[in-house]
Every structure is written in C-alpha cells, then in structure tokens.
Structure 1
C-alpha cells in the first residue's frame, strides 16, 4: 500500500526517475557505506549509469543529482538555486564530501561513467555506485534501479516484488483499515463502508500517522502550497530554458491573458488557455530544475496542479476541503497505477507519466464536484485510455519538447474526461483495472527507442526543426 505522500513528493526538476531517484540513491549509498564499512575508510567513489539514465542522463541532470545525493542533499530540501554551484565546486575541486563532511577524490570525467550501450536487464533506469579505500579495494558497492516517481530499489529489493519502494515518507508497519490493490477492491470497500474514495484514503492515511488527522491535513496543504508556488513562479519567470536556450513562454502568455480580461469574457475557450498556462508554467520550472511536486512524476508534474488550480479558481474558489479531497482521490488512483503497472517513462513510455497524471486529475475533479465513486473510476479510465501508446521521446533528452506542451494538453483532456464521466452514470465497458493493465502491457511492447532514450520519435525525426537545432547546438 502506498501513501498519499509516496505519490506526491516534493523534489527538484527536471525528472523524478532521472533526478529525484538518483539523488536518493546517492544518499542511500552513503548511508549504507557508513553502516557496512565506515565513511572514513572511503578514498574515492565511482558512479556507473546504464540504460535511460545514461542515454538521457546529461539532459535530465542525473549526474548532478547523484553527486548532490552523495554530498548529503535531499530532493525535498536542497536549494534549487544553489544546486548547480555545489556540483560545479565538486567538479572543480575533483573532490566530494560524502554526507557533507568526509572528502573523497572524485574526477568527474573518469568516475562518472555513462554506459550508453548497456542496459541492465532488470530495468532501463539502472545505476551502480561503488567506493574504494586508499589501496583501491572496493569497500562497498550497490546497484539501484530508479523505478519511476522518485522511487528507488536496490537490485536485491527489485527481485522481491513485495518489498516496499524506498524513499517512503510514511512507515510501512501501520495497520491500514482499508487495504486495496485494485480499483474493484477500492470501489467495493467504499460501497461496504459508505465512504468516498477521498474519505477511505484519508482514513488509511490517518492510520499511518498514528491517528493524527491534523498532521495529514497539514502535509496535504503543504503539497498544494508547493504546487501553487511553482505555478506562480513559472508565471513570473522570463528568459530561456537551460541547455536548449528555448525561450520561456508562460510569463508572456500570462501577461497577454491579464491584459485582455474583457475580451476573454466573450471567449468561450479562455479557461482552456488558463489551464494550459498553469500546466506549462509548472513544467517550465521543472525544466529549469526548480522545486516541483512529483505528481506522480516530474515529467508530468504540471497536469494535476493545473486541474486543481482550475477547480480552485473557476469552480469552487479556495475550497480547503475540496483541495484535500482532490489530492487524496488523485493519490488513490496513482497508487493503483504504481502498484499494478508503472509510472516510469523509461519503462512504459509517456502514457505511464502524463497518462497517469491525466487519469488521476480526471478522477479527482469528478470527486470534488460530487460525482459518484463509479463516475470517479470512469473518469480515471477515460483519462488513461486516451493516452495509451504515448511514447516518451524527449528531444536531446531534455524534459522540454514535447513534455511542456504535453502537460497542458493532458490537463485539458483530464477536464474533458471528467465532464464526460459526469454526463453518464458510471457504467462503462472497460474497467480502470483493465485499462491500467493494458497500459503496462502496451508500454512493455513499445520499442526501447520510444521509452525515454531519445533514440527515436521526435528526438530523431525532428532533427531538421529549428527547435531541435537550438537544443543540440
């Protein structure tokens, strides 16, 4: 069982799998080193990146994130504005302070190795970290898999499906009153106990927090606060995106919308512009390495904040309980997808990231508008169904094209899915469980070049485009 705060985690951009996960892996390695051999015995460390972590590691900042983790920083607390300076100092000094205090030699060119031609058989997002003593003897090594949404597992843990993912914010030993592993089980529990999906999720969360519902509310409110701050910062920032030099658009779009408020009153599609803008502002921040909420991934971080902002600004303004119910419902759907399929673009394509976010947002929007649990499940299925087969093919390995616009499109689709579900009575032909299983099988069927490797799709066939040339220059 996953917590709300396993699905929604604060981190930095641009990628939960390639940035947040590797940062946790770096920190975990140092903790293991301390327990098994002692940090003081280490003289040098080496990082080997495989599969998607190697092929798109530069664009996703995987190298930077791993070094930050080894240096003792966490994705939920590291200052995004200082991260680059910290890493540059490590490269310049050819030394890294493990856990922030024990210096070891680190030559970036020799000890950060991108194995572009090798993929670990267990998962496309693989990395190995090892430490040696002054005599060159390996004193600790481990292999980690970044399995999506900032979750990591060691190779040993990955072979045991029942083992919990790492980086969980809540204890695993709490007795959960309403455990579920499928949408069918979730709906049955709701009916039997006369609970909404949000109420059931909150009850489970309260149990995880030793009965302290105020603590749960405070953490949910904090998640929304980070989402809002990310939207607002994205709307105010100008300039260009890193590496590619592509101009940020959200600030100008926002100025245009604010300057034409009267004209917007007669434009029946103006709200769509705002929703798209909210999503794009978040993902521009993500692309710049800013602070975002993994929802359920960084690459899809704009969808849920955009739909929730739509709800709080255009449907039920600043409704605290509605916001909490929205996030709780979305987390329940995200848990189902994570437990039964994947939220990793490297494993199952963008359908697993943006498709999952759309599914979660659609379900949550129905829930806070008074929809039945059957309509909520229907909305989630619609949102996922119409992303099936979506590839993950970021140009130059950057979470920019097509990722930023794609979040805006998915936010609009989530609203459409919610409206469509609420026009019906919840009866539909394909269950959410079947759709989730289909998504996962479809993802496995996708050729590897369409799963976050930048070896196919737009990443290759847009080479003649002006945007591509700007990125790879």
Structure 2
C-alpha cells in the first residue's frame, strides 16, 4: 500500500495550539454534527455530551480541546474559523448558554457536558473522544468515537486504519528503498516523485496553487510572530521572544562593521515566531503537527533569505520533498506525540525539513534520504512532556533547536555521496519501536519529565 499523503492534507492550515488536541477534535466534532444533519436527526437533538480519553483528557484543558469540540459542533472549521471564536467556545460558557449545533439548531450547553477521563485509554489510539447526541429519551440518538491520530487527521472508530486512496498514484512507494528505486528508474528527484503523485490528485494548477497557499500561510504566521510582543496565555507567564530577537538582529545588521553570521539567529527567530503564534491559538500550518509547526517554515525562510538563487519554485520543491519524507514517517511510524513522544513530532518535522533543504541545495535523492535519516536519528527517544499541558515549555525552544539540527544535517549529508550505514527506513522503524517502549507518562500526558519537575507559578 502506498505511503504517500498529499501535501494539501499533511500541511493543513489550521489553528493552535495543537493539531491532535485542537484541530483533530474540532474536525471530529464537525463530522459528528454533519452526520446528524445527513441522518435527518438534527432537529431531535436536545443535548450533546463529549468524553475525552487518555492524552486528550490529561492535557485537553491546556490544549483548548473542550473549546475545539464545541466549535466543531457549531460547524466551525479549523482552516477557515476565527481563532478567537474557538478560544471562547467552552472556556467562556455561562449558565443558560446555548450552542447552535451544525450552525443552525440551538441546544443548551454547559461546561459539564465535556468530561475528562485521562486514565482511560481506548485501544484505537491514546487520543480518543466519544460524542453522544441525546433527545428527551434516556437512550442516545447517536454516539461515535473518534481518534485524533496526529497532524489534525482523525479516524472514526470502525473505519479502516489505512484508507485506500480514491486516485491511483503513478509513482507509489511504501519505503525509502522503494522511493529511491523510483528516483533511479525514472532519473528524477524525490520532489518529482511527489509532484507526479500530487498532480494525479490535484492537477498541476491545483497543486501549485495549494502549495503557494500553504507557504503563504506559513509566511504570514512567521511575520505575525516576528511582530507580536507580550505574555503567552495559559498561566506560565512565558514571554514572547521572536520580536525582540528580530529587533536585535535588524539593529546589528544596520551597523557598518559586522563580524558574525546571523543566519542561525534568524533561523531561531523564525521558528520561535511560529510556535509563539501557535501557543497563542493563532493561525498556523500543521507541519506535520502544530507542536512542531515552526521547523519547516523556519528552514524554508532560511533558504529564501540566505541561499543564493532561492525562489518560489524552490519552495515548491522544498515542500514536496518534505511531504514525501513525512508520508513515510506517518505510514510506518507515527507523527503523534501521544503515540510516539516528541520524537514523532519534532523528530519527524526535523527530518522533513532537513531532507527538503538538502534537495533545494542540490542534493541527490540519496543525499536527501541521508539528511532526513541524520535528523531523525538524533531525535530518537525524545519525550513529549509539556509543562502545564501547554504547547510552550519545552516545545517553543525545541522547534528552534531542531531547525538548527535540520540545517546541520542537510549540510552534513551534502559533504557525502549519500552512502551511509543507517537507512531512513531503519531509523523510522526504530522510532516506532521506541514509541511503543516509551512510558505513557512521557507521551503528551504531562505526567512525567519537565511537566512534573518544573514548578508552575
């Protein structure tokens, strides 16, 4: 079965702070409401309840999951909604409030309609939620369980784990070995493989428009973060730093005598900007998750600013190469922090960015695969332990450091000929096994690591 996931799906425009805890639950709730409409049962609904299990129950408050659920039930979509409407959907509820289910049908709603069961882990995935629609009878009208499987993707209980693509892909692959073999046989790059599969789905015009929209959203997010000051919400008192770093760098670059290269510092500022926007619940691009959303935009901005000859066509190649690598990780391991720890989020994003940068710097397919492998290998075992259940500490800085790792891995791979001992397939499989062995308290539950050793003030 092919591993490839469309760039227009893997890179989805949404909101912060979490793809699995905000975007996914919103999409699940929207799907539940749509099914009530399609089944002709909307008018009979008098109440909706939701139970959040496992990681969603453990860190749902810090990630805004209850707000996202009610926003989705009201018919909002993460790619088009006003982020402020989501942030207030549950947290600002008062007695006697109503919810317009599917945007049209008013029902009473209260904070206790959302329940938390962090100790209950359903077998389908650590991120699970059950939505129930009630009429005046004791028996529910409808009940569905959904899994938020990472990156904003959802799966309804009972649906196939790996849905078959409706559009045949001309250059299908399920491993990096198969991907490199396609490149050899066709005499093309990894981005060309991705483009052929994408154009079979979207056509050339639709694909390029979609890629440009994704990059534009990433750019807007970076610019917003570079121009925003203040304290991030949530109670930790984390100060935004990207704007201050930008001011310092711009002041330094105005000096006639400059002694240091500022490219790495700009790289850090780009990543911080995105993840500070994400932490504030702003508009971000899931890449491949929100917790790791700063790495691919940061490295892309590094490419445009500091690589001679960089252009928009290169950015398209960059995104296509990244999604070809990310597809392998998603298919053969995980991009969910609740399932694999932060190695599955930041590690995956670092591998995608590193391989993609290597490609636009002129790397061969084997050098690209080597860059991605180096980047992933040095994130193995990375835990997901957000302090206070917020996507702030250590998540924001972690994106900046991983951006540097991505650039270093790409340049290291370019010094070789692509020959290396550990394959990308091997390191992805190792990441999967490590995630299975990792204790639950280190997988986005805030029950271990920094989350219990940092005193919240």
The aligned counterpart of 2:454 is: 462
Query: Aligned equivalents of 1:391 and 1:267: distance in 2?
Result: 38
**Post-superposition CA distance 1:162-212 (Å, at most 9, x none):** 325xxxxxxx31121101111111111111111111111111111002xx3
Query: Aligned equivalents of 2:150 and 2:27: distance in 1?
Result: 12
Residues 37, 140 of structure 1: 8 Å contact kept: no
Greater CA drift, 3-12 or 401-410? 3-12
The aligned counterpart of 1:188 is: 181
The aligned counterpart of 2:151 is: 149
Query: Aligned equivalents of 2:204 and 2:440: distance in 1?
Result: 44
Q: Does 1:400 align with 2:392?
A: yes
Query: Aligned equivalents of 1:317 and 1:237: distance in 2?
Result: 30
The aligned counterpart of 1:169 is: none
Q: Does 1:50 align with 2:53?
A: yes
Query: Aligned equivalents of 1:85 and 1:365: distance in 2?
Result: 39
Aligned-pair Cα RMSD in Å: 1.5
Residues 264, 270 of structure 1: 8 Å contact kept: no
1:85–1:446 Cα change, 3 Å: closer
TM-score, normalisation: structure 1: 0.93
Residues 67, 89 of structure 2: 8 Å contact kept: no
The aligned counterpart of 2:191 is: 198
Q: Does 1:362 align with 2:354?
A: yes
Residues 155, 161 of structure 2: 8 Å contact kept: no
- 1:32 shift after superposition: 1.6
**Post-superposition CA distance 1:65-101 (Å, at most 9, x none):** 1111000000000011333344456545432111111
- 1:153 shift after superposition: 0.5
1:265–1:219 Cα change, 3 Å: farther
Which of residues 307, 315, 337 is equivalent to 1:345? 337
**Post-superposition CA distance 1:398-438 (Å, at most 9, x none):** 00000000000000000000000000000000000010000
Q: Does 1:178 align with 2:171?
A: yes
Residues 371, 409 of structure 2: 8 Å contact kept: yes
Which of residues 117, 123, 141 is equivalent to 1:121? 123
Counterparts of residues 300-319 of structure 1 (less than 5 Å): 300-316=292-308, 319=311
1:317–1:193 Cα change, 3 Å: closer
Residues 311, 317 of structure 1: 8 Å contact kept: no
Which of residues 258, 269, 273 is equivalent to 1:281? 273
Residues 231, 278 of structure 1: 8 Å contact kept: yes
The aligned counterpart of 1:31 is: 34
SS at match of 1:187: helix
Q: Does 1:227 align with 2:218?
A: yes
- Where does the alignment leave 5 or more consecutive residues of structure 1 unmatched? 165-171
- 1:113 shift after superposition: 0.3
Which of residues 107, 110, 114 is equivalent to 1:104? 107
Counterparts of residues 443-458 of structure 1 (less than 5 Å): 443-458=435-450
Query: Aligned equivalents of 1:190 and 1:265: distance in 2?
Result: 46
Q: Does 1:15 align with 2:36?
A: no
**Post-superposition CA distance 1:333-382 (Å, at most 9, x none):** 00000010000000000000000000000000010011100000000000
